[in-house]
Amino acid sequence: MARTVLIVDDHAGFRAQARALLVAAGYEVVGEAGDGTSALGAARELKPQVVLLDVQLPDTTGFDVAHSLRAGPDPPLIVLVSTRASSDYGRLIDRSGARGFVSKSDLSAGALSMILDGSL
């Protein structure tokens, strides 16, 4: 059975690109959100197994969204994404409770699978 994914990013072009990449790799994209408030609502409603979550959102940070998601019942696996390198965020990634981080330029089905499976 395919893992279900919610894509959260304020850029529609990135969401479309990520959706195409993930669907082609066998993931089931159940929804998209363009900001943190919408992400939290969509996660509650859709109950995805995975949230691909941009760090920089127009109304909050992906770190804050990750904390809120992790505080709820049966939290999804969270993978943070950004155009910036992980080193730019220091320990914020570790403290977020996210399963991992991948830069947008390195996003691939293989990279996502390695993070989700704990290999990366």
pLDDT tens digits along 15-65: 999 999 999 999 999 999 999 999 999 999 999 999 999 999 999 999 999
Residue-number span of the structural domain to which 102 is assigned: 4-116
What pTM did the predictor assign?
Answer: 0.95
pLDDT at 2: 83
> Residue 65: which of 2, 7, 3 has the closest Cα?
7
Nearest C-alpha neighbor of 40 from the set 70, 4, 9, 65: 65
Number of domains in the chain: 1
Burial of 74 (0-12, 13-18, 19+ CB in 10 A): exposed
At 39, list the tokens. Answer: 């992400």
We report the CATH number of the domain holding residue 111 as: 3.40.50.2300
Cα separation of 75 and 51, whole Å?
A: 10
